[in-house]
Amino acid sequence: MRKENWLKTIFSFSRPYKARITPSVFCACLGDAGGIVPYIGVCGIIVMFFTGSQTAQGVWLWSAICLAEYAAKLLFCAASTALAHISAYTVLEIVG
């Protein structure tokens, strides 16, 4: 008797919920990508001070970009978590 791959077994349960799982993965990727931008913004502010080209407008601009991207990160991560949990608990409800 041939054993079935455990990953195929898991995906067989989740296949009907692919419409929720795919956006969850997409939102997670966007959230992680958005989490990198604030570091780039802080680096931009530091570079402005080292090169002597700092202005209040430049610092405020980079700060606004960092804050907006951090808010986007939180939003996308929350959406990803919600979609993944809804899918997981729905699968558990049907299987269990």
pLDDT digits (tens, 9 = 90+) for 27-53: 999 999 988 999 999 999 999 999 999
pTM of the model: 0.74
Work out the angle between the directed axes of helices 56-95 and 6-14 (0-180°, nearest 10): 100
The pLDDT tens digits of the residues spanning 40-86 come to 999 999 999 999 999 999 999 999 999 999 999 999 999 999 998 98
| H-assigned helices in the chain | 6-14, 18-51, 56-95
Each residue's pLDDT tens digit, 1-26: 567 787 787 777 777 777 878 899 99
Cα dihedral across residues 15, 88, 25, 4: positive or negative: negative
Q: Which residues contact 35 (CB under 8 A, 6 or more apart)?
A: 69, 70, 73
How crowded is residue 73: how many other Cβ atoms within 10 Å of its Cβ?
A: 19
